Structure 1
Amino acid sequence: MAKSQRKRDQEKVDEYIKRLELARSATTVDVHETLTDKMNRIQRAKTDVKYLVKTYLPHYAEAESADFQIEFAGLVAHNPLFMGFAEWGRGLAKSVWCNIIIPLWLWVRGEDVFFCLMSDSKERAEELLSDIQAELDGNPLLINDFGEQKADGDWTIGNFKTIDQRFIGMAFGIKKKVRGIRVGKRRPNLWSIDDLETPDTIGNPKRMRKQAEIIERDVIPTMTNKHHRRLLYANNRFARVMTQTILQERHPHPKWFVHQIKAYNKVTHEPAWDYYTADYYRQQEDNMGIPAAYAEYLHETKLEGKIFSEDKIQWCKLPDLRDFEIIISHWDIAYTNNEDSDYNAVRVWGLKDRRFYLIDCFVKQVEMKDACNWMCEFKKSLPGGVNILFQYESQFWNKEVQRNIEEAEDEHGVFLNIMGVDIPRGTNKLGRIIRLVPYFQNSRIYYNIELKSQSDTQIGIIQLCAIEEGSDEHDDAPDADQYAISTLDKYTTSSRQEKSGGKPFKTGKMKHRYEIP
């Protein structure tokens, strides 16, 4: 039975009271200390965040603050326009630093802080925000040094203002409208995005892209202050494609700073933070298994499918595009645009010296027009003298596909000359894709190293490694790969032909016909 709103509200209050009791018992005040001692403490806390933690937040200091934690706080404090990620391994106190210590330190340093915290739900955001709210409400030493902060009537959980309004806190779920947030003339100047990913979002790249757009288009514009606009994103990189990886791809380091910390050394198991021990991480590897431990603590996600494994992928710097014998761009068409639809997958492969190179790719749950636009932009980016053929599976052709292609061609001023590929009836898709296995095993497949961090590439790898009998995972990217590579294979020259001076193409006019002037 669902809980009543009254019961949920009471549970929220009970949890806040527990946090408040913790804050009240965290510090003590020496009634005999001099004013000089008090002022010296305040001044040191303004410049020394490690001291601030030990002095005002000892209940969050069960171990010495790590160098990387202090470093990140310094980066944020000394850059009033900081945008970046606390991409720390699991258990390294990302939330404590981004949601409590850093906002509190900025306030102690004299800044007016309008702090907004966003999570996967409003309830979770309120829970996270209530930690710093309880410190301002009940921490004896903070109150002694900076005065009473609780403003009666403005102190609801998830939405509070201090008496002088130098600190304002608000909590939001990712689906909550944030446009127009203000208190009088004040607008947010510090956001923390925390605990955003869930099992549902990780399995839904389209939803992750939507979340990234909310942060870009809704969250960031709420900060209108010319001089103070900070965004902190706290999460470990436990999956190949996440909201944060999409943002990092769009806003490369150092424009948005990626402060990545691995929890331990995978060889020696030496911890990055003394709160843990090497034995602890050895035990975690035993209990969780290496793949899960590496993902959660080291940001390393290795995919091992029953048929394909990421270990077989070779990354390299591409040869000059004009040196490829021929390039094939295959489009696996998807008609719909929703969370359950197939992907519009465009995979561009090139042939050189009997090796196959993934040159570029587009793998998204979007409308056909987006894929057509991407192909047109790709063709426009090619240097002269490149041999390229655009193709699609002919069974997907209809007037709507043709309309999208023609509109994109007219808009971009290019002609794709895209051609249909007939697939024999009764062909088994799984069987076709499995034909790629020998290419990987014989080291004939290479991926463009410049694509490694892109979400389209990572989604393609996820789909490839998920290929197996009975799998219900999307397979649009590997399906497009198979079509492209099988087409390229028709133009390979066997070593026997090369010795006898045979032609590199089995059909004579293809190279001339598709050469870009």
Structure 2
Amino acid sequence: MKKKDKDALERYKKRLELSANSVHLNPFETEAERNREMALAKKSFKACVERYFPHFATCEVPDFHIDLANKARANQKIKAFLEWGRAQAKSVFADVLLPFWLWINGIDVYLVLVGNNKDRAEQLLEDLRAEFEANPQIINDFGVQHNPGNWESGFFVTRSGFVGQALGMGQSVRGLRVKSKRPTIIVMDDCETKDLVQNPARQEKIAKWVERDLLPTMDGEVRMFLYANNRFAPNMVQIILQERHPDWLVHRVNAYDPVTYEPRWKAKYAPNYFKELEQEIGVLAAHAEYNNEPHIEGTIFKNDDIQYAPLPRLNTFKIIFGYWDVAYAGTKTSDYNAVVIQGVKGRDFWEIDCFVKQCKIAEVLDYMCITQIGLPASVVIHWVFEAQFWNDAIEDAIKLAEKKYGIQLNIIKRKNPGINKYDRILSLQPYYQNRRFFYNEKLKHKRDHQVAKGQLMGIEPGYKTKDDYPDAKKGATDECQKYAVDDSGNNTAAYKSTTGNYNQSSNRW
């Protein structure tokens, strides 16, 4: 036996052991009780999972699993994208629990499970095959399902007629038929790889394969299609399909609230789990993998534009501004309160610190007050925000914060120049190209800075990302520009911006 086949057999044996040893039959269950429990499992997805798959249901079944299961049972022609964050049990739900529940509800199931390659698809299908072969509760309630002669890796037919077949993405669909049966449920699970999302031509080819080859293999009354993948990249096959088929369901579930860190699946995750995870892997990676917010590698502003360096002493800056882009709501869908603290040194601009959060006004004012209190006696920050945001609520919040900390912020109101926001932000590009922006190296791993970078690199024509940090960066730069001078002492605002790399050796600290 080849090592690959031997390893696959060992994995399957372990699955059989898990299924056989994790389900314990109730020896005292009467026939009436059994019939009642089976009827309940048929009616309730949650009850089904708890009765037949307690080894998967290590915590309470989440409401979003129940919601999509009910939608699938009610609409047997459903086309749905499971855009659930990582660790929300997409694969278990789509590959095992849902097909089984539909089957006990009397739906004729011919499941085609598509992986990014044939081997991966076969591995995914083994979970369900093992349950049919070894799960004591399934055998007790529905009889022996193991069907020698039609029972192999990548393809099985139970004695009751449930068909499971594995298929690699892009593979020929010829042969997707068992006698007169055609596929009734197609699940594409975790098909988007890091390589695929970097290959637009191949993505387009796969989208056409789904539409023109895969879906037409179903021609009966039951034609379900589920695409299970979190939205971790800005360009994906599922995005192409969603744009072409706006009537298909996008069932999006983010793993946690980015403001409060409250988990979506409260029974599974501790309140601080995702806050700790952000600290471990970084906010951009966490948002991409768990909250369907892919990090966009900019086409205008890029990672290479961000140059870090040790921060000069604060009292060596000619002037320091703290520019505040105001937001009110403080919810997971609201704009961000963004503050950029930036200083001028010669002809260059140094980002000393930043605050970028979806929060209430009081929190950002706390930050500003604490920052001001922590400054050396010889250093002053000039706070600025756009006059259009001024209202009684802002004025009251500022007064409360000043009273709380016993200081005066002396915030300057500036009138918005009225230029289109995209054009205004785009005017930052020459500063990055000419290497005139420096970032305090201590910001590199700060959460607010990571969010800021994500927003900056999302700026492109027709962008739909948040732009609060780039707007604040532009405001801070306009304030600082009035005080920036070249080596001859001339204000650099009088000079036309040029492209190219700025020679950092001329920067004098």
TM-score by structure 2 length? Answer: 0.60
Q: 1:306 to 1:259 in 2, by over 3 A?
A: closer
User: Number of paired residues?
Assistant: 324
1:73 and 1:219 map into 2 onto residues whose CA distance is 22
Partner of 2:485: none
- Residue 201 of structure 2 is aligned to residue 200 of structure 1: no
Query: Match of 1:39, as an amino acid?
Result: N
Partner of 1:29: 25
SS of the aligned residue for 2:55 comes to helix
Partner of 1:73: 69
- Residue 178 of structure 2 is aligned to residue 176 of structure 1: no
- Residue 252 of structure 2 is aligned to residue 257 of structure 1: no
1:156-305 → structure 2 map (5 Å cutoff): 156-165=152-161, 167-225=162-220, 227-252=221-246, 255-273=247-265, 274-303=267-296
1:321-336 → structure 2 map (5 Å cutoff): none
SS of the aligned residue for 2:132 comes to helix
2:14 and 2:156 map into 1 onto residues whose CA distance is 18
SS of the aligned residue for 1:210 comes to helix
2:27 and 2:59 map into 1 onto residues whose CA distance is 28
2:88 and 2:186 map into 1 onto residues whose CA distance is 20
Quote the offset at 1:236 in angstroms: 0.4
Partner of 2:55: 59
List per-residue Cα deviations over 1:331-377 (Å, max 9, x = no partner). xxxxxxxxxxxxxxxxxxxxxx985989xxxxxxxxxxxxxxxxxxx
Runs of 4+ residues over 3 Å off in structure 1: 302-307, 353-358, 445-449
2:156 and 2:460 map into 1 onto residues whose CA distance is 55
Partner of 1:110: 106
Query: Match of 1:297, as an amino acid?
Result: Y
Query: Where in structure 2 are there 5+ consecutive unaligned residues?
Result: 304-417, 424-428, 438-458, 466-509
SS of the aligned residue for 2:147 comes to strand
Quote the offset at 1:75 in angstroms: 1.0
2:110 and 2:151 map into 1 onto residues whose CA distance is 14
- Residue 125 of structure 2 is aligned to residue 129 of structure 1: yes
2:298 and 2:78 map into 1 onto residues whose CA distance is 40
Quote the offset at 1:163 in angstroms: 1.2
Say if 2:233 and 2:295, in contact at 8 Å, map to a contact too.
Answer: no
Say if 2:16 and 2:133, in contact at 8 Å, map to a contact too.
Answer: yes
Query: Match of 2:205, as an amino acid?
Result: K
**CA RMSD in angstroms, aligned pairs only:** 2.8
2:286 and 2:89 map into 1 onto residues whose CA distance is 17
1:317-396 → structure 2 map (5 Å cutoff): none
1:80 and 1:183 map into 2 onto residues whose CA distance is 20
- Residue 146 of structure 2 is aligned to residue 153 of structure 1: no
Say if 2:300 and 2:460, in contact at 8 Å, map to a contact too.
Answer: no
1:153 and 1:71 map into 2 onto residues whose CA distance is 37
2:131 and 2:39 map into 1 onto residues whose CA distance is 19
Say if 2:299 and 2:460, in contact at 8 Å, map to a contact too.
Answer: no
SS of the aligned residue for 1:128 comes to helix
Partner of 1:98: 94
Say if 1:118 and 1:191, in contact at 8 Å, map to a contact too.
Answer: yes
Quote the offset at 1:31 in angstroms: 3.5
Query: Match of 2:254, as an amino acid?
Result: K
SS of the aligned residue for 2:230 comes to coil
SS of the aligned residue for 2:272 comes to helix
Say if 1:262 and 1:272, in contact at 8 Å, map to a contact too.
Answer: yes
Q: 1:30 to 1:221 in 2, by over 3 A?
A: same
1:161 and 1:10 map into 2 onto residues whose CA distance is 23
SS of the aligned residue for 1:124 comes to helix
Partner of 1:340: none
List per-residue Cα deviations over 1:38-87 (Å, max 9, x = no partner). 11111000110111111110000111011111111111111100001110
List per-residue Cα deviations over 1:113-164 (Å, max 9, x = no partner). 0000001111110111100110011100111101110111110011000113
Query: Match of 1:259, as an amino acid?
Result: H
1:211 and 1:446 map into 2 onto residues whose CA distance is 26
Quote the offset at 1:302 in angstroms: 3.8
List per-residue Cα deviations over 1:370-405 (Å, max 9, x = no partner). xxxxxxxxxxxxxxxxxxxxxxxxxxxxxxxxxxxx
Quote the offset at 1:6 in angstroms: 1.5
SS of the aligned residue for 2:287 comes to helix
SS of the aligned residue for 1:278 comes to coil
List per-residue Cα deviations over 1:222-277 (Å, max 9, x = no partner). 0010x21000110100000111111111111xx21000011001111110112112
Match of 1:141 among 134, 137, 143: 137
1:164 and 1:58 map into 2 onto residues whose CA distance is 23
1:31 and 1:300 map into 2 onto residues whose CA distance is 49
Say if 1:357 and 1:448, in contact at 8 Å, map to a contact too.
Answer: no
List per-residue Cα deviations over 1:2-60 (Å, max 9, x = no partner). xxx72111111111111011111121223432211111111000110111111110000
Query: Match of 1:48, as an amino acid?
Result: S
Say if 1:27 and 1:141, in contact at 8 Å, map to a contact too.
Answer: yes
1:234 and 1:52 map into 2 onto residues whose CA distance is 21
Query: Match of 1:201, as an amino acid?
Result: L
Say if 2:233 and 2:296, in contact at 8 Å, map to a contact too.
Answer: no
1:302 and 1:296 map into 2 onto residues whose CA distance is 10
Quote the offset at 1:309 in angstroms: 6.1
2:290 and 2:211 map into 1 onto residues whose CA distance is 27
Partner of 2:372: none
SS of the aligned residue for 1:286 comes to helix
2:28 and 2:130 map into 1 onto residues whose CA distance is 26
1:304 and 1:156 map into 2 onto residues whose CA distance is 43
